[in-house]
Amino acid sequence: MQNEKVIYDDGDHKCIVFSFDNEEVEESFLAVNQYLIIQKNSAILIDPGSQSTYDEVYDAVCRYIDIDNLKYIFYSHQDPDVAGSIGKWSVSCAAQQIVSKQWIRFMSHYGLMNFNRVIPLEDKGAKIHFGEDYLHFIPAHFLHSPGNFSLYDSRSKILFSGDIGTSITSYYGAKSQDVTFGEIRESLEGFHKRYMAGNRFCKVWVQKVKEHDVHTMAPQHGSLLSGEEYDNFLAWFKDLECGGDLMESIY
């Protein structure tokens, strides 16, 4: 299994995807993607994952940068496959940890109570400088977590969408493959219908991300979608009935 791949590189700015973890889902598996954005001497790690993959992700990050240059670690939401390793990362580097303010007090369950280096994200999101460019934290609440954000990197034009766009397939971020929306549509459907809270939230998120010039969507699980395939995903997601819209089928 190929574990890492550079998905953007213009000489000064680089984005890398790691796929170190699998979660078994019925007869298939769900690859977990971790991302690293580097600009010159600064880096941000996105959704570093659970305790069990900490060592591999740490080593992978060190292959690309000096750990002292890891400036930020962003956790899109509170799930263990996203933030389970926050306690270890707090010990191993001096990076600032960016997380929804809704989840901060729960982080002590993952072994973090020193909030000196925690940047709490307000519900409305934020925009921070990253080198010469910006990182936008776009609200994605209730998709699926109540305190959830997508991250848009204005330089690479990649939207790190967290659980939005998760497809339960044998495709994963670090696998070199052009995937079409049509190919993964079925494998998107089950997850999104059950995990996303309702169509109102999907619509608002689509409206929000359309404010940005996105070339590629990079979800936390499954494959990346670019260009027209990303547009097809948005068109589908905008009208998706899910969660509360399908309550009768759940209860």
Name the site residues for another protein (rule: CB under 8 A): 55, 58, 62, 87-88, 90-92, 94, 108, 111-116, 126-129
CB of 114 to another protein, least distance (A): 4
Nearer to another protein by Cβ, of 151 and 240: the residue is 151
Query: Burial of 17 by CB count in 10 Å (0-12 exposed, 13-18 middle, 19+ buried)?
Result: buried
Q: What is the DSSP string of 62-130?
A: HHHS-GGGEEEEE-SS--HHHHTTHHHHHHH---EEEEETTTGGGGGGGT---GGGEEEEPTT-EEEEE
Q: How far is the CB of 237 from another protein (least distance, A)?
A: 25
Cβ at position 128, least distance to another protein in Å: 7
Q: Which residues contact 150 (CB under 8 A, 6 or more apart)?
A: 76, 137, 138, 140, 159, 160, 161, 162, 164, 205, 209
Q: Report the residue number, 82 or 164, with the smaller CB distance to another protein.
A: 82
Considering beta carbons, is residue 58 or 230 the nearer one to another protein? Answer: 58
For the bound state, the minimum distance from the C-beta of residue 61 to another protein, rounded and expressed in Å, comes to 13
Q: 14 vs 136, which CB is nearer to another protein? A: 136
Task: Say how far apart CA 146 and CA 140 lie, in whole Å.
Answer: 8
Q: Which is nearer to another protein, 78 or 161 (CB)?
A: 78
User: Residue 48 Cβ, how far from another protein at the closest point, in Å?
Assistant: 13
Angle, CA 138 vertex, CA 237 and CA 218 arms, to 5°: 60
Candidates 141, 139, 53, 35; CA nearest to 89 is 53
